[in-house]
A = this chain, B = another copy of it.
Amino acid sequence: MSSKSIKVYAPATVANVVCGFDILGFAVNEPGDELIMDLCDKPGVVISSIEGDGGKLPLDADRNTVAAGVKSILKQLGREDIGVKLKLKKKMPLGSGLGSSAASSVAGIFAINELLDRPLSKEELLPFAMEGEALACGHGHADNVAPALFGGFTLIKSYEPLEVIALPVPNLYCALLYPHVDVPTRDARQIIRSKVLLKDAVTQWGNIAGLISALYLGDYDLLGRCMKDVIVEPIRSMLIPEFYKMKEIAMHHGALGFGISGSGPTVFSLFRSPDDAQRVLLTLQQVLLDKGIASNIYLSEINKNGPVIL
């Protein structure tokens, strides 16, 4: 047992998907996090190193999202006799709206479950990944961890009880742009109003219902027509530089839809063609650069399987 080691990769995720605030998300192939996990003789979970976080993430296992999920699983399985060493390589920006903490949490619970020969199903792993999220974000939402764990598009049907539905995965390309501006998740949540107009809610659930239909029908034009948000985007977009200019450019150059990834500031758009996606990304990057704002860009297909062993 003590010599077992594993290296895994867990994907970034786009939560909300424009009209599905707090209930929808999908995973992308890039970016993502790498995790090396070793079992060892001395009980307890130790984080030996974290790279790529600029020193922002705590090495203290009691305050670290990855360690929290792993410790919960070991406790649940009655295996607190096991020792675990973690090396985390963050290969995506933190606080960017790409589900950074979810990717790390999922990498951790996936790795320990693999090392223990899969005592738990993915459905059973989900609540442990949510515990890590709660530690990172102050709330136990599943719209990043569920797609990071299952891959593809996931619907959080309900929280009490927790029920996740794996939706059909469209063959589309996701263009991501992370502008280097700071939008903490807590702030992005606080500016959203706690009450909404019923008529806006009706518009929103028409779009959500249409988007779900579009995924089952494989109707990407319909998918695009449903990617509208009358509730959250009008408010959160204020935190993102040049949001509507970028949206207009993307929509005029082949994007099916464009919106905020999670709580931002990353923006995403979906394309049929990787060439269109790439062209738009470079254009948007230049738009921001002209305003003095640097950005990271990523282009990949929708991730289909969640975390993998490297």
Contacts and interface: CB of A to CB of B under 8 A. Distances in A.
Nearest to A167: B213
A225 interface: yes
Residue among A202, A206, A208 facing the most chain B CB atoms (10 A cut-off): A206
The quantity of this chain's copies bound in the complex is: 2
Interface string A223-240: 001100001000000000
Interface string A151-169: 0000111100001010100
Interface stretch (A16-24, A37-45, A84-92, A173-181): A16-24
Nearest to A165: B213
A209 interface: yes
Given A201-B201, A231-B198, A208 B210 contact: no
For chain A, give the interface size range: 35 or more
A289 interface: no
Residue among A165, A211, A226, A231 facing the most chain B CB atoms (10 A cut-off): A165
B206 A157 contact: yes
A206 to B, nearest CB: 5
Residue among A20, A23, A192, A209 facing the most chain B CB atoms (10 A cut-off): A209
A302 to B, nearest CB: 17
A197 B165 CA distance: 24
